[in-house]
Chain A
């Protein structure tokens, strides 16, 4: 894959007198007036160039990306698995892409949108089974959005019971979205440190639990890739105090088909379909964050809900008096949900279990082979991801970020670095199940070579990565001299 190294001009740099490119259908109706006082004085300064130039520009830009389809992408916590092309076909069917979202709200409109309503409902049911919950809403538009929705459900639950609880407990290894989502729902955060065994300090947790705690948010396996053997006990303690257990599904790929959060004591979960269920990441989105709940939280689910009537037809329910309301325009990221639906149909019961098995196998294989070369803060069987520390390399002046740049130079997307924050110089590797042993071996060889280079020529890292369109951009300058557009 040839990378274009020349400076790609911005699409906005065109002469202002270019011939108009695109042609719209000709108007067969009279021209209408628009009040002068409301009219634009000048046209919006958008690009003006031929279709060829637009296509060439963005095609060349695309060549400047690493992507799952082109590179091994072991970003811990992100689950960069292969995105099946058939899912793209499913999402492009005109029967879905051309369906207006107001259709089922029209009189007789549910009839016209049965296929789409079926996808939402059936996907919800399947996800509920996979996570061990009673019902699922597919409305949240992203993982963090699902977290916020889940905590809002918790808040509604407590409010209905007359509980004025003010706090949410999170482990210090949690993803930033956990405390941020709880704050969005009006809660204060209590953070529990991680104990040497690799997860939430039980004594500190017991000491922090009281009647003021609304929920405990856990990721399981946690962000260190470790399954918490005390999770049931934690859930029992939380429930004793009337608090709810929230499951962050970011790492669900590790236990899909093996453990169901609902069976373990969780009351509400969110899933990341763009992680676990193979929908593409799109450069940062769109994803979707369906939320599953136990019966006690069902009344609060957002509207509209898709239900299946006794005659087998699907319908919308918008009048639910205890619903928290809505968190999105319509039903959720339907095009994304479609892709997840394909993924589940194709994988099925046995395929979904194979996902976690191969994911865990791949991660442990990498951990085992890299152990001699990189410090392992928690030397025990990991799940779908393993966390190393670059502390050994730091002694030579080579930091986690330098290892990342070295990997880019060698044609690998780096693992996640500097997260979780409780590990110094963290390097979090999540290969996912769709990577072959061959690919893993190439990556491992590169990591070993890098470890050796850190001993023999640490100074060379500062120059990396070479061969890319840019090299070590100045992020400080970007934050101090803010330029977010090329206007003005």
Chain B
């Protein structure tokens, strides 16, 4: 099924107007030897058959298991109004708001999104979103290097291992030095980081809560970094900001992270969005699109894309980044989510996550042989140490209907018996109790 509507008559009329005998003749500027034969692809299907194929594929995945997986993607409640609004064709099928008069909808919504992200992070400015948390973190590092004009980057091992891989991928062709500071137990090694900060340091990269779920008080690191004019880049889990003090107040200079947990479904890892928020002085080094407020010819408030001189379509190879688009619709979903649950709801959401995770941690670690690993405070994610390697346990529990957690041994050698467990407001007491029961069974029966 294709989506063209031309009738034979219309095609004939159009060809006649153009003055050529056939559609094929319009392709004559292409040398014949470059033309492909038929594509080796199947014939098109009807809409119904195409959907049926895809529905079959969807049906083969197993999503009815209780999900205790985290590691950067979280199974949160998405209020019904979020999807209803985000699916509006005027938002979905619009383009980048380059012509402000015909895109005040997207522009005002993105301005409100920027406001919401600054409200969460305590920062003064932010952009209209980046691709995802990993690439946003890599761009943050590049940004910090530009601002400080320095090449040395300290990265805490507690940062999501995939994010660290993305930073390395982004920076491999740049003249810089990435120093990874190993974890100390479940938390960043503050002493080692402090010792590593000097006047060659562009930035210190921390994740809070870290990949193991532990939260570091970054104030000391921020103080030392600022004393030598280095920056603190903190990758933050936005839902935690319902209870955790804002990154700006705790000393971060660049606040970044992944927005999937705000109103975006898991969707096998994408689409999502990244956010990047900073103090006003750094705004010209911010990559990505930025929406600004202004007034129009009649004195009415209007929104426009602004500071475009930073971007690739103007500065080309000297742009702050090559980024052209943002993840507009995903950012809007986050805005709708935060608007629907509201100021009170956002705080309540964080408390619920905290409570349920604490209960799970207590209940699961009460099982014989199971230990908690986090000594630092946690939010909704924590690590358990099992008496055996995690892989078999995870497989057993999956068959019994539970995605128990992420085995840490994949990324952290020596932690083969450790399991990363996340608990969101979607989990119930009885699910947690069931998890505990099954875990005990799989270990000891």
Interface residues as binary, B72-98 with A (CB distance below 8 Å gives 1, 0 otherwise): 110101010100110111111111110
Residues A361 and B11 in contact, CB atoms below 8 Å apart: yes
Q: Does A203 contact B (CB under 8 A)?
A: no
CB-CB under 8 A for A95 and B58, given A22-B79, A283-B94, A302-B169: yes
The distance in angstroms between the C-alpha atoms of A78 and B97, with both chains bound, is: 13
Q: Does A7 contact B (CB under 8 A)?
A: yes
Residues A470 and B101 in contact, CB atoms below 8 Å apart: yes
**Within 8 Å CB of A91, what residues of B?**
267
Q: Does A194 contact B (CB under 8 A)?
A: no
The distance in angstroms between the C-alpha atoms of A179 and B322, with both chains bound, is: 8
Residues 149 to 182 of chain B near chain A (Cβ within 8 Å): 162-163, 165-166, 168-170, 172-174
The distance in angstroms between the C-alpha atoms of A169 and B219, with both chains bound, is: 46
Residues 81 to 102 of chain A near chain B (Cβ within 8 Å): 81-84, 86, 88-91, 93-102
Q: Does A478 contact B (CB under 8 A)?
A: yes
Residues A282 and B44 in contact, CB atoms below 8 Å apart: no
CB-CB under 8 A for A176 and B311, given A144-B322, A285-B328, A368-B19: yes
Residues B108 and A8 in contact, CB atoms below 8 Å apart: yes
The distance in angstroms between the C-alpha atoms of A287 and B323, with both chains bound, is: 12
Partner of A34, one of B69, B346, B354: B354
**Within 8 Å CB of B406, what residues of A?**
102, 105-106
Residues B280 and A482 in contact, CB atoms below 8 Å apart: yes
Residues B377 and A34 in contact, CB atoms below 8 Å apart: yes
User: Tally of A-B residue pairs with Cβ under 8 A?
Assistant: 698
List the A residue with the shortest CB-CB distance to B338. Answer: A46
Partner of A86, one of B50, B75, B111, B118: B50
**Within 8 Å CB of B432, what residues of A?**
29
The distance in angstroms between the C-alpha atoms of A405 and B124, with both chains bound, is: 33
Q: Does A373 contact B (CB under 8 A)?
A: no
Q: Pick the interface stretch among A181-189, A239-247, A387-395, A445-453.
A: A181-189
Residues A95 and B120 in contact, CB atoms below 8 Å apart: no
List the B residue with the shortest CB-CB distance to A21. Answer: B342
Residues 362 to 389 of chain A near chain B (Cβ within 8 Å): 362, 364-365, 368-369, 380-381, 383
The distance in angstroms between the C-alpha atoms of A94 and B4, with both chains bound, is: 30
List the A residue with the shortest CB-CB distance to B2. Answer: A351
Residues A176 and B313 in contact, CB atoms below 8 Å apart: yes
List the B residue with the shortest CB-CB distance to A58. Answer: B85
Residues A10 and B112 in contact, CB atoms below 8 Å apart: yes
Residues B270 and A437 in contact, CB atoms below 8 Å apart: no
Most A CB within 10 A of own CB, among B33, B104, B271, B399: B271
Interface residues as binary, A275-307 with B (CB distance below 8 Å gives 1, 0 otherwise): 000101111111110000000000000100000
Interface residues as binary, B273-295 with A (CB distance below 8 Å gives 1, 0 otherwise): 10000001001000001111111
Q: Does B413 contact A (CB under 8 A)?
A: no
Residues A39 and B243 in contact, CB atoms below 8 Å apart: yes
Can you identify 26 A-B contacts, CB atoms within 8 angstroms?
A21-B340, A24-B345, A37-B217, A58-B339, A67-B95, A68-B94, A71-B102, A81-B3, A101-B270, A106-B403, A111-B62, A112-B65, A115-B58, A115-B61, A141-B270, A144-B324, A180-B322, A263-B34, A286-B131, A335-B265, A348-B44, A352-B39, A479-B306, A482-B283, A482-B307, A487-B118
- Which 4 pairs across A and B sit closest by C-beta, in order of nearness? A348-B44, A330-B269, A186-B173, A95-B58
Given A29-B358, A142-B323, 13 new contacts (CB under 8 A) = A46-B346, A65-B91, A176-B313, A184-B321, A263-B34, A283-B96, A283-B328, A284-B128, A302-B169, A324-B169, A357-B23, A471-B296, A473-B295
